[in-house]
Amino acid sequence: MTSFVRILLVLSTAVSLVNAFAPMSLIPTVSTTTSSTTSSSSSSSSSDIQTKGTMFSYNKPSTQRHRVALRLKDENMTEEERAIALEKATKAMTAFSNTYIKNTGTKYCSDLSIPAVVIKGLAEHKVTLGAPLCPCRFYEDKEKEAKDGFWNCPCVPMRERHECHCMLFLTEDNDFVGDKTSITYEEVIEKSGGMM
């Protein structure tokens, strides 16, 4: 792969991360369709997603028990409480990412600012939505997507096929894979530009 193509891929990922925090009115819709193509026992809890000509199914988590928990969790927090919650969530998402890397045999990107920004975005969503919704995708309704669970980290494509759109968990065959299998909380803060 040429240097030019690699640079374009890194820039594309960086733009995706920046745009993930753009105002919702500027973000195009990502749509999924619900159908009952599996067995009759899962007709109301199964969704099929068409991606690159391949159909993927997953079981939706029950939204009934999540309704209260997934309201904007930080809406009644003071700035100090939110900062404490964000620090705690960032430490938790850093620990989760390090454990998941070990369990899946994947590695971080050679540019540690990529996983640092992704981990920071996951922590932000954990505080605001109550779930680590992928920060690298566009959503018309983040709360609905967090309840749905498909794009909550680790997302279904990562769990099923080891495909991480965010470049957080990379397989050996990825051109951007580094040699690190852990990142510290301090590195996440430093390489992501500090706390939000």
Instruction: Please report, for residues 4, 32, 59, 96, 128, the alpha-carbon distance to residue 29 in angstroms, rounded to integers and kept in the order given.
Output: 30, 10, 22, 29, 21
Q: pTM for the full model?
A: 0.64
Q: Are 153 and 81 in contact (CB under 8 A)?
A: no
Distance CA 55, CA 22 (A): 30
**pLDDT (tens digit per residue) in 145-176:** 999 999 999 999 999 999 999 999 999 999 99
How many Å from the N-terminal Cα to the C-terminal Cα in the chain? 35
pLDDT tens-digit map of 66-98 = 333 444 566 788 889 999 999 999 999 999 999
Catalytic-labelled residue, pool 136, 153, 155, 164: 136
In which element (H, E) is residue 47 found? Answer: strand 46-51
User: Is 136 a catalytic site residue?
Assistant: yes
As a whole number, mean pLDDT of residues 31-50 equals 41
Indicate whether 18 pLDDT > 50. Answer: no
Q: Give dist(CA 80, CA 92) in Å, integer.
A: 18
* CB burial of residue 98 (10 Å; 0-12, 13-18, 19+): middle
Q: Is the peptide bond before 154 cis (omega within 30 degrees of 0)?
A: yes
d(CA 184, CA 195): 14
